[in-house]
Structure 1
Amino acid sequence: MLIASAQKAIGEILDPKLRQVFWKTLGLTILALIIIWNLTTLGLETFAVPFVSDWFASLSLPSWTGTMGLFAAIIAGLGLAVGLTFLIGPVSAVIAGLFLDDVAEHVEKQDYPNDKPGTAMPLGRSIIMSLKFFGIVILGNLLALMLLLVPGVNLIAFFAINGYLLGREYFEFAALRHHDAATVRMLRSRYSGTIIMGGLMIAGFLAIPIVNLMTPLFGAALMVHLHKAIASKAERTS
């Protein structure tokens, strides 16, 4: 069930129609990062760097004032670059979240043409879902980074946390297109192991630079297939 769903999802993220979603997501992600860079740079130049220079000047160390101001600017620039690298995944998750219904609709039409089509999320709910994905990716990575100094544990933490959270959220996205919240909770509880394993696959995409830009497309496609398999199995066993 899981392997077959993953194979289908990988094949479909290369589909020309889904590539359109990817390019839209990539373009808007780059635009968002440029805006964040410019606003943050403006804030640093306006407040942080002058504060450091003024602080050293207040210590009666005029010879160090300009040097430390330059040093502060370099450190701030490097920190900003690292921060933006960290934000690529979360920002793309937010933006792609607005297009996940397009992905789900394409997969359902292509692979399940005889099934009743799912109901797309209203715009407000889609925005909320996007923000949840953003929060989950940020939280998962921050928790993993907190354990960075513990050899091996940070990698385990990254996959464990993201596997659970991403699996849960992407499955809910796919399932809520077809079921009410109570039914979705029941399916998620009954097949939690399979869903978490699917989340681990999504986390694997998230862990690979550049490839992580395709995480939302893969996650949505994977969970559409996985939900279909789980719902079919649940119907047969009920």
Structure 2
Amino acid sequence: MIIHAARLSIANLFAAETRKVFWKVLGLTLLALVALWFALRSTFVTFVLPWLQSFMPPVPDWTNWLTFLLAVLAGLGLTLLLALLISPITAVIAGLFLDEVAEVVEKRDYPADAPGKALPFAAAMRSSLRFLGVVVVGNVIALLLLFIPGINLIAFFLVNGYLLGREFFEFAAMRFRSPDEARRFRIKYGFTVFLSGLVIAAFLAIPIVNLLTPLFAAGMMVHLHKLLSQKEARRI
């Protein structure tokens, strides 16, 4: 079921019906990452670097290579920080585009089913911002574990698998259920949702490709919710 949902979502990425939202998601994600990069770099150069230099004694000119080395290390640190922030950025973008992605998936793959109901904009943004905070905290924990060999990658997948799986699934479920019903439905199939979240986390770990994480994750969870709902209906 999970592999089937992931395969359908990948197919949707390249479907003609998805092309419009594809470019919007990709463009907005790139724009957000570029803006965040310049904001982080400006903050470092304007505030952090002068503060660090205030603790350093004067050095001879021949040690300018040391300043260059520190600049390179700072650049690598900012890149790592930006990579860790991709996950919360995808959460915010997903809140803006999930309903549009869901509508495309539902019309394309489930034309006989009743369409879902889009979340009100205010409710979608509240949910996205709430999840943004949760993901930031989760990734800070993963960052702290980054320096423990053998645990860092496991922490990345476990944290992002749980958080991304939970939020994207509840987004998809709330098109057909109340928030409380969506949460209970997610808890009922919690292990399946978590495993699906691990697939999303694996997608997120692929450089460049991970810019499409919101589109992939939203489509996958729409399919998963549909498949689980059909399973539930057969059981009843």
Fold match (TM-score > 0.5): yes
Question: Which whole-Å CA distance do the structure 1 matches of 2:231 and 2:219 have between them?
Answer: 19
Q: Is the 8 A contact 1:141 1:158 kept in 2?
A: yes
Paired AA for residue 49 in structure 1: L
Q: Is the 8 A contact 2:25 2:214 kept in 1?
A: no
The corresponding residue for 1:13 is: 13
Specify every segment of 5 or more residues in structure 2 that has no aligned partner in the other structure, as ranges.
Answer: none
Instruction: Find 1:209's aligned residue among 200, 204, 207.
Output: 207
The corresponding residue for 2:114 is: 116
| Range with greater deviation from structure 2 (103-112 or 126-135) | 126-135
Which string of whole-angstrom CA distances, capped at 9 and with x for unpartnered residues, describes residues 67-122 of structure 1? 47666544433422332233334324422431111100111111111211111111
Question: 3-state DSSP class of the match of 2:102?
Answer: helix
TM-score normalised per structure 2: 0.84
Q: Which structure would you say has the larger Rg?
A: 1
Paired AA for residue 26 in structure 2: L
Paired AA for residue 129 in structure 2: L
- Once the 2 structures are TM-superposed, how far is the Cα of residue 227 of structure 1 from its aligned partner? 0.9
TM-score normalised per structure 1: 0.84
Question: Which whole-Å CA distance do the structure 2 matches of 1:208 and 1:132 have between them?
Answer: 26
Paired AA for residue 107 in structure 1: V
The corresponding residue for 1:127 is: 125
The corresponding residue for 2:195 is: 197
Question: Which whole-Å CA distance do the structure 1 matches of 2:51 and 2:159 have between them?
Answer: 38
Q: Is the 8 A contact 2:26 2:212 kept in 1?
A: no
Question: Which whole-Å CA distance do the structure 2 matches of 1:49 and 1:192 have between them?
Answer: 45
State the aligned residue count. Answer: 235
Question: Which whole-Å CA distance do the structure 1 matches of 2:181 and 2:202 have between them?
Answer: 28
Instruction: Find 1:224's aligned residue among 206, 222, 225.
Output: 222
Paired AA for residue 3 in structure 1: I
The corresponding residue for 2:101 is: 103
Q: Is the 8 A contact 1:143 1:158 kept in 2?
A: no
CA RMSD of aligned residues (A): 2.7
For residues 221 and 33 of structure 1, do their structure 2 counterparts lie closer, same or farther at Cα, with a shift above 3 Å needed? closer
For residues 55 and 93 of structure 1, do their structure 2 counterparts lie closer, same or farther at Cα, with a shift above 3 Å needed? same
Question: Which whole-Å CA distance do the structure 2 matches of 1:109 and 1:118 have between them?
Answer: 10
Q: Is the 8 A contact 2:174 2:182 kept in 1?
A: yes
Specify every segment of 5 or more residues in structure 1 that has no aligned partner in the other structure, as ranges.
Answer: none
The corresponding residue for 2:43 is: 43
